[in-house]
Amino acid sequence: MTADGTPHVLDGRRRRWMEHNQTRRQVIIDAAIAVLERQAPGEEVQVQAVADEASLSRTVIYRHFEDRADLDRAVQRQICEDLGGHLLPALSRDGRPEEIIHRVIEAYVRWASEHPALYWFAERDLSGWGPNPFAESLELVAVQIEGIMETVVSHLGAELPPNDRAGLDPWVFGMIGAVSGALRRWLNREVREPDAETFVEILSETVWLQIDGMATSRGINLPDLPVVELLQGLGPSDG
């Protein structure tokens, strides 16, 4: 640090410039999402439309993003963060396991049906840009559901064979992937039949029957109790 305090001035300017850039980036991302919301799923988003929505020029947009793929990836991440924020409350352990499954699927279906273009965009595979944000969001949900299942098993004092324990993660993730595939098909139908409420019931029942069936085949009778009560029933070393 110099006697006249110059480094502090430079640091302050640099911080304000970074904050300005971050704010501008967010404005552009929000504008892209607003444009997407007005379009049909699969319709190409024009950069000029995003610039107009943000009241900026195209050149300004490309000062904040390396290229179109960089912008698309940032938009995809934002959509997935918003979806995750919508799903996380549904993953609360306040309720029986069957109720939690239903609540999560209902939140997922409702969000996708209200934002079909965002759902389509989130699922896009932007090759060469690392892990897909959508897959990462689903993985977070899978981890939460897996944790609920492990809580139930621990409460019952059951011991899963090593292969079952090792296979739990890909199995849960596979169930979630199947729900996503069914949801995608339902969203893309010319007429969305059955209605959303019935569709949620079908998906929830299908998932729960798989979980209950796998447990029953291994001699585990799933308790009809809220998960929070199951957690309270575990000893300190088991929680």
What is the pLDDT at residue 238?
46
Top pLDDT among 145 and 36 is at 36
Domains and CATH numbers, the chain: 6-65 (1.10.10), 76-233 (1.10.357)
Q: Which of 48-52, 125-129, 133-137 has the lowest mean pLDDT?
A: 125-129
Q: What percent of the chain has pLDDT over 70?
A: 90
Q: For the whole model, what pTM was predicted?
A: 0.84
Are 177 and 138 contacting, i.e. CB atoms less than 8 angstroms apart? yes
At residue 2, does pLDDT exceed 80? no
Q: Report the amino acid identity of residue 146.
A: E
**Quick one: three-class SS letters along 6-40?**
HHHHHHHHHHHHHHHHHHHHHHHHHHHHHHHHHCC
**Nearest 10 degrees: Cα torsion 72, 77, 81, 82:** 0
Q: What is the pLDDT of residues 74-115, one digit of tens each?
A: 999 999 999 988 898 898 888 888 999 999 999 999 999 999
Q: Which of 46-55, 189-198, 225-234 has the lowest mean pLDDT?
A: 225-234
* Average predicted confidence (pLDDT) for the chain: 87
At residue 237, does pLDDT exceed 50? no
For residue 161, is the peptide bond before it cis, meaning its omega torsion is within 30 degrees of 0? Answer: no
Indicate the DSSP class of residue 155: H
Mean pLDDT of 164-169: 90
**In Å, what is the CA distance from 107 to each residue of 52, 137, 200?**
32, 14, 9
**Sign for the pseudo-dihedral over CA of 99, 104, 105, 111:** positive
Q: Other CB atoms closer than 10 Å to residue 192's CB: what's the count?
A: 13
Are 131 and 124 contacting, i.e. CB atoms less than 8 angstroms apart? no
Mean pLDDT of 18-40: 92
Top pLDDT among 1 and 92 is at 92
